[in-house]
Amino acid sequence: MPTSEPPPPEPVVRRGIPRRSFLFAGLAFGGTAVLSACVSNAAPESAATSTAGTTGAASSPAASNPGGQMVRIGFSAPAADHGWMASITDQARKVVEQYSDVQASFVEGTNDVNQQISQVETLINDGVDAIVLLPYDGAQMTDVARKAMDAGIEVVNVDRVFSSPLSYRTYIGGDNYGMGVSAGNFVGQRLKDAGAADPVIAEIQGIASLPLTVDRSKGFADALQTYGFSVTNQVSAEFTADSGEAITANLLQAAPKIDAIWNHDDDQGVGVLAAIEAAGRNEFFMVGGAGSANVMRSIKDDNTVLKATVIYPSTQAASGLELARLIVLEKGLSEIEELEVPKSFTLYSAVVTKDNVDSYLPSAFES
């Protein structure tokens, strides 16, 4: 998952995206597949698609928006070239369908920073009320986000944080250090329960030089240390299945016996598992990272070395859209005392096992 790598007062019923530890007031949006003008979700109580790429709304959020104010939200994210990133926009589109008081404009995902800057400038010129922005590069998108804020547009910064807090009204993102801690605690407790005295623990990173990888590895090491354990074999792949398979084949040759593996990313995990199966190795258990559906299905079936994965929510942009609506409507969150939406949200990295996998599968992404 190459990202520094997501849910309102009593919310309307949400489909496909489970309630998280925090809830926002009911909301809605619509979207288009390419750079476009805002599209109305004016037809209430209907989830029908009206025009190409335009999604209608299904539910009336009258309780949280009694005046029926229409909220215009622009959405921009990187290209869907990775299972997790593809799910970011898919989940956002699903949540849009649930609200009748939002007009949403989805611009085409891009990994070209200059193109994303141009897209955001177009949204500013269109006069949207809010922009939900997962930047390809947070630092390089900081100025255009600040330009939107200066124009009176509420910016919700998703996952990759801007260089200045003045460039966003609210930030929402995952917890890379927390992923490592969750994985380390699962591995450490399982090995401790098994009576392991000096276990061989392998770690398969994504791109080692990325800050997110550094954070994940530090969290993993810190958690293992509380059990008296440490990482014995650390290798790095490149967040792809091919790289995961190649690096794991080398790892297995170098380590004739392993007790546990944490693989940082479920997309590269496809290759990791292929290498493990090719080598006929099963003396260890493995923990995944990010929370893909195929990994969760393997955990549920309980017929591979995969016994858990740690979540890096792909629902965070969907939640960002809901937060943007609340901010524009000047609403807070129903389950805390504050009158306004908080400045920052760091999402929890839950551990998914066979016991709770059914709760997480509906919002998981396909690798």
The strand order across the sheet containing 306-311 reads: 233-236, 201-205, 260-263, 285-290, 306-311, 351-352
Instruction: Report how far residue 295's alpha carbon sits from residue 54's, in angstroms, rounded to the nearest whole number.
Output: 32
What CATH architecture does domain 71-173+315-333+340-346 belong to? Answer: 3-Layer(aba) Sandwich (3.40)
Q: Looking at residue 8, what is its pLDDT?
A: 33
pTM over 0.75? The answer is: yes
Q: Where are the domains of the chain?
A: 71-173+315-333+340-346, 176-310
Class of domain 176-310: alpha beta
- Rounded-to-integer distance, Cα 75 and Cα 54, Å: 13
- Say yes or no: do domains 71-173+315-333+340-346 and 176-310 share a fold: yes
Which pLDDT does position 66 carry in this prediction?
A: 76
Per-residue pLDDT, 68:
83
* Averaged pLDDT in 10-residue chunks for the chain of 367 residues: 40 34 34 32 31 36 77 96 90 93 96 97 98 95 98 97 97 97 98 97 94 95 98 95 97 98 95 97 97 95 97 96 96 91 97 97 90
pLDDT at residue 335, rounded to an integer = 86
pLDDT of res. 334: 86
pLDDT of residue 59: 42
